A and B are shown apart, each in its own frame.
Chain A
Amino acid sequence: EEQLLESGGGLVQPGGSLRLSCAASGFSFSTNGLSWVRQAPGRGLEWVSGITGSGSSPYYPDSVKGRFTISRDNSKNTLYLQMTSLSAEDTAVYYCAIGRMGSLDVWGQGTMVTVSS
């Protein structure tokens, strides 16, 4: 069974940094692109970063470019999201997901990030 498990969420002060992890199992990790998607309280889904299977080509929306860095360790079957200069607007549940055929077909259960003083 294909599974993703996020971790690393928590409470962080404005201006702070946080690194999320996503442990994968049950599929060929290095041959699949992955993404991070978030949902702020009471808001819709927002894609915040993606990376190709090899890890050589990360990509971001303008809303987080320069603050978020996606990476992966194919030897550990783990995806990461390094977030810096966090603000209250970054408060959300963060999901990792597998990207295939132009869609995100397997999702983790999410990890909550709260930015507050």
Chain B
Amino acid sequence: IVLTQSPGTLSLSPGERATLSCRASQSVSNNYLGWYQLKPGQAPRLLIYGASTRATGIPDRFSGSGSGTDFTLTISRLEPEDFAVYYCQQFATSPRGYTFGQGTKLEIK
């Protein structure tokens, strides 16, 4: 399964709403779709799993939605620390394995 994220770069200001898209080439089984935040020099941080469940400790301004082949990560009101690169990821059970999208860079406008 190929994951395609859009846009490649998103330029927004703090306080604005961010909408990031992830489209799969085939239906994602069991809604095994995750979203990660990656900052330079840091390990990836899981934000959302199962397409819509926030991981432990993730602020409620982050939300995930979607099913099948179309998924969205929404950040309701951007905080300065939210500017980073975001990746979606899917897990397939047959054949077993993970795939990541190419990433969306969220930058300060």
Contact = CB atoms under 8 A, between A and B. Distances in A.
Interface size grouping (class) on chain A: 20 to 34
Contact of A59 (B30, B49, B95): B95
Given A44-B102, A45-B38, A46-B100, A104 B44 contact: yes
Nearest to B91: A102
Contacts of B102: 44
A26 to B, nearest CB: 13
Contacts, number: 75
30 contacts: A35-B98, A37-B44, A39-B38, A44-B102, A45-B89, A45-B100, A45-B103, A47-B89, A47-B98, A47-B100, A50-B97, A59-B95, A59-B97, A95-B44, A97-B44, A99-B91, A99-B98, A100-B49, A101-B49, A101-B50, A102-B50, A103-B34, A103-B49, A103-B50, A103-B55, A104-B34, A104-B46, A108-B43, A109-B43, A110-B43
